[in-house]
Amino acid sequence: MTGGSIPGPDGLPRCPWGLSTEDYTAYHDEEWGRPVHGDDALFERLCLEAFQSGLSWITILRRREGFRAAFAGFRIEAVAAFGEADRERLLVDEGIIRNRAKIDATLANAKLLAGWDPGELDALIWSHAPEPGRPAPRTLADVPAVTDESTALAKALKKRGVRFVGPTTAYALMQACGLVDDHLKDCVARGGGGR
């Protein structure tokens, strides 16, 4: 799908991907591209984007409640306290993606981030938001997978010890958390519209 916005069942124009399933429509209209702040909230998005690497986002979206249950609501302090028994539990939890490298990265990242000052993760991520005024994409083909800002964010996170984050994952995080608004130009959700 590389075209522009298309009308949904309610007649309102949306990004084409946002109409492919009901789960996507709700996520598109109510969450994607809206600003997310708070260390725990950003930790959750960072972890989910890492788990999504190599998979479709719908796979993660449909298991998000399982992830939240398995990872103590993505509260950094709680996940940082996980031990080997928790790791073994996660490796057999059918409610999540049971990828050893991604689970280990999540646990290591929580331990690392627990040592940061409150608000430090939020400040670091948001310091990489691009300057306002970028033209709105007209079609999906206009939406990049990587930008200079996402490359810089990935490097900054890696330099601080955060694992399993590259420029593409960093850009997906930026899109999901509202650092950029990649809703198409005439999409009802552009600029935080939605339903």
Residue 17 is a catalytic residue? no
Active site residue 24: no
- Annotated active-site residue 22? The verdict is no
What phi, psi does 6 have (nearest 5°)?
-130, 150
Choice among 32, 49, 126, 149 that is catalytic: 49
From the candidates 17, 24, 27, 32, give the one annotated as an active-site residue.
27
**Would you call 30 exposed, middle or buried from its count of C-beta atoms within 10 A (0-12, 13-18, 19+)?**
exposed
52: enclosing H helix or E strand: helix 39-52
Residue type, 140: L
Q: How far apart are CA 49 and CA 43, in angstroms?
A: 10
Q: Could you give the residue numbers annotated as active site?
A: 27, 49, 57
